[in-house]
Structure 1
């Protein structure tokens, strides 16, 4: 019987744990979190022992677990992942880290273990689609990976609802976005241009270039490649206005003898004012052309509810299924972002569709 440890029981991690209970009906589970208040919730699932987080506890669990499934805050994720990799345990991770996952490759290769980084919605399923497209079409002339987690209708005043750390959200509109243009990796202003796309089942959306290609920059051969974050029309212009006005700046300004960073003030305003109990939708829309002329378009849409929002649920679905494949011994050792696992694309598609993700493919 397999023993699986899930580390981090937030919006994604807890959902992943529940899904793994369905996928691995014979496994036993450890659940680890810094908040002991979640203990009754996870132990009510059965076959699960809760552990309050500490480095010693994690080290002990790593020695006896067949797999550790991680969903950690970006501020702490990489050092913890590094310490787990050094224990030679298989890892499937969904945490965002600024560090390149391939920094762990020497340790993972020495151990002969598996490390799947970015095993979520986007990056994650988006990578799987990109890898599959390259497998189908060969070298790519262009690929646009368009992703969005948005309210089901444009909520005033920005057409958006904040459901995650507002500082991390604002960073998306500031951080230079790495794309591939004419075969070269270049960094561009994320708000330098607006893209418009009609998504079947959702409607017309607009997007801005975002820095989400990550391992695809290394592993996917494309002459031109971009990730585009989708929003309701009008949103990008409003965010550019706020940025150009200086409200996303980290430089201190003095107000009545108090030093304030405008970006932190804006984040607080977003946290307070961009809230609404509305359903949401997670969207992935990929358009690709091969250098030999082939074309591939895939659209994946998941409608969410207030109780079960689409973006964390879609993320957990991919996280859980990637973990299932590792437990079943279907992933080869090494650092294996999902673009390297395109042979499992049809299995992921079947699983996602069984969980109400609508997937449409055109060639």
Structure 2
């Protein structure tokens, strides 16, 4: 069982916390106490604090094996940098304008694994397809991804297209 700290308890962060708490020790962190209440009621450890403060962030992640970033995009890059500087492995779903590969050298220097920009699409799909593109030496890859969402008893289908 890993000790995992999840930064952000919004729509995605809260779902990740509930799912990961089934098999791991999880702490969910957010600045909004109301966002943390349902997680606390579900038996998940919570902490209401500001992770945009570097010292606070690095202090609270010390005792955890892995950090999961689920903060708003405008905070993502800076948060990732502070986590990597603290020498912690991180998987982050934030989508931010900065180039995540700007943190590659720092992650290597600190000896940490940093999986960046790992949402669904773009994100995880790009990682998986990029890996297969390398293995199969593909020149171009066209991908159609269909995401179904149940909303108010109706199934809504969203089709996305992207090219690697």
- Structure 2 partner of 1:30: 27
- Ranges in structure 2 where 5+ consecutive residues have no aligned partner: none
Q: How does 1:1-363 map to 2 (within 5 A)?
A: 1-22=1-22, 25=23, 27-54=24-51, 55=53, 56-135=55-134, 138-147=136-145, 277=152, 278-283=154-159
1:245-274 per-residue CA deviation (whole Å, 9 max, x = no partner) reads xxxxxxxxxxxxxxxxxxxxxxxxxxxxxx
Contact 2:7 2:71 in 1 (8 A): yes
Q: Secondary structure, in 3 states, of the residue corresponding to 2:83?
A: helix
TM-score (norm 2): 0.82
How far the C-alpha of 1:145 sits from its partner, in A, is 2.5
Given that 1:126 and 1:284 are in contact with CA atoms closer than 8 Å, whether structure 2 keeps it comes out as: no
Q: Is the 8 A contact 2:144 2:162 kept in 1?
A: yes
Say if 2:28 and 2:44, in contact at 8 Å, map to a contact too.
Answer: no
Would the aligned equivalents of 2:29 and 2:36 in 1 still touch at CA under 8 Å?
A: no
> Contact 1:30 / 1:51 at 8 angstroms: preserved in 2?
no
Q: For 1:146, what is the secondary structure of its paired residue? A: strand
Q: Distance in 2 between matches of 1:133 and 1:4?
A: 29
Q: RCO greater where, 1 or 2, for CA within 8 Å and sep 6 or more?
A: 1
Higher radius of gyration, 1 or 2: 1
Question: Which whole-Å CA distance do the structure 1 matches of 2:101 and 2:89 have between them?
Answer: 15
Question: Is contact 1:33–1:53 with CA below 8 Å preserved after alignment?
Answer: yes
* Structure 1 residue 84: Cα displacement: 1.4
Quick one: structure 1 residues 101 and 58, their matched pair in 2 at CA, closer, same or farther if it must change by over 3 Å?
same
Q: Report the Cα offset of residue 106 of structure 1.
A: 1.7
User: Does the 8 Å CA contact 2:89/2:112 hold for their aligned counterparts?
Assistant: yes
Q: How far is 1:52 from its partner?
A: 2.5
Residue 212 of structure 1 corresponds to none
Gaps of 5+ in 1: 153-275, 289-363
Are the structure 2 counterparts of residues 132 and 109 from structure 1 closer, same or farther at C-alpha, using a change threshold of 3 Å?
closer
Look up the SS of the partner of 2:47 in the other structure: strand
Cα separation, 1, equivalents of 2:163 and 2:76: 32
Q: Alignment partner of 2:21: what SS?
A: helix
User: Partners in 1 of 2:97 and 2:89 — Cα distance?
Assistant: 21
Residues 1:21 and 1:35: Cα distance change in structure 2 (over 3 Å): same
Name whichever structure is richer in helix by fraction: 2
SS at match of 1:68: strand
Residues 5-58 of structure 1: CA distance to partner in whole angstroms, max 9, x if unpaired?
101111111111111123xx2x32211111111232111222423332242432
SS across alignment from 1:279: strand
